[in-house]
C-alpha cells in the first residue's frame, strides 16, 4: 500500500535522521517511488543531498577529533572515526578521477583515500606514512562508491611505529588493501593485558 505524500515525507524525514548516509536510490526503493520523487520531497523538506549531509555530519562530528591533519585534507568523507582504533571514509569516483579511455579510477586516488585515512586515525598532532604495502584487487569504475575501513593493528612496535590496515570496498567487494606503517611524534603504548 502506497503512503500519502504527507506520510511519505514524514517517514523520509525520520529515515534520513536515523541514517543520513542513505542514498536517494535506496530511499526510492524503500518507499516504492522514483528517485525524482525523493529529490522533490527532499527539496520541499529542505533536506540537502547525500554529499552535503555527509559533509555536514563529518564536519560536526570529526573536526575536533582528527588531530594529525585538517579534516578537509582527508581524501573522501570520514563517516566514522575512533582515534587509535578505527575509521571509515567514503569516496565517490567521478569523471575527474578516472582515465578517459576506459573510465577506470586512477590508482593514486584509492591510495590517497586509504593513506589519508591511515593518517587521520592516528591520535597525534603529527603522523606520517613511513612505509606502505598495497594491493589493488580489482579496477574501480566511474560512478562507484569506495568505502575505506582503517583499523589500527598495534600502536607501538619495535621501531616505535603504529601499524594501520586499510581495506577498501565497492559494495561488499574488496578493491584495495593497504598496510601502513605510521610514524607518530608521541609514543603511546596501548594497555597490555
Contact 58, 70 (CB under 8 A): no
pLDDT class for 2, splitting at 50, 70, 90? confident
Contact 54, 77 (CB under 8 A): yes
- All 3 cell numbers of residue 46? 529542505
- Statement: residue 136 has pLDDT above 70: yes
| Segment 93-112 mean pLDDT | 96
Burial 147-157 (b: 16+ CB within 10 A, else e): bbbbebeebee
> CA 115, CA 74: separation in Å to the nearest integer?
9
* SS3 at position 1: coil
pLDDT tens column, 17-71 = 888 778 899 899 999 999 999 999 999 998 888 777 766 665 555 555 666 666 6
- Statement: residue 193 has pLDDT above 60: no
Starting at the earlier edge strand, list the strands of the sheet with 77-82: 77-82, 86-92, 145-154, 162-170, 173-184, 127-136
Instruction: Choose among 161, 129, 167: nearest CA to 146.
Output: 167
Contact 40, 22 (CB under 8 A): no
- What distances in angstroms separate CA 47 from CA 13, 77, 137, 171, one per listed residue? 8, 19, 37, 25
Contact 170, 115 (CB under 8 A): no
- The pLDDT assigned to 192 comes to 40
Amino acid at each position: 500500500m502506497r503512503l500519502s505524500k504527507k506520510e511519505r515525507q514524514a517517514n523520509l524525514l525520520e529515515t534520513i535522521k536515523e541514517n543520513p548516509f542513505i542514498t536517494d536510490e535506496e530511499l526510492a526503493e524503500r518507499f516504492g517511488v522514483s528517485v525524482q520523487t525523493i529529490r522533490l520531497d527532499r527539496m520541499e523538506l529542505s533536506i540537502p543531498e547525500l554529499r552535503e549531509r555527509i559533509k555536514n555530519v563529518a564536519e560536526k562530528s570529526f573536526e575536533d577529533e582528527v588531530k594529525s591533519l585538517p579534516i578537509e585534507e582527508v581524501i573522501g568523507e570520514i563517516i566514522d572515526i575512533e582515534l587509535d582504533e578505527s575509521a571509515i571514509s567514503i569516496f565517490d569516483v567521478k569523471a575527474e578521477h578516472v582515465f578517459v579511455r576506459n573510465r577506470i579510477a586512477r590508482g593514486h586516488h584509492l591510495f590517497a583515500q586509504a593513506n589519508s585515512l591511515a593518517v587521520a586515525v592516528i591520535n597525534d598532532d603529527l603522523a606520517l606514512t613511513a612505509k606502505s604495502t598495497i594491493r589493488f584487487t580489482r579496477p574501480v569504475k566511474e560512478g562507484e562508491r569506495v568505502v575505506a575501513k582503517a583499523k589500527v593493528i598495534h600502536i607501538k612496535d619495535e621501531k616505535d611505529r603504529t601499524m594501520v590496515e586499510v581495506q577498501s570496498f565497492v559494495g561488499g567487494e574488496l578493491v584495495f588493501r593497504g598496510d601502513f606503517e605510521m610514524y607518530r611524534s608521541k609514543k603511546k603504548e596501548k594497555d597490555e593485558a
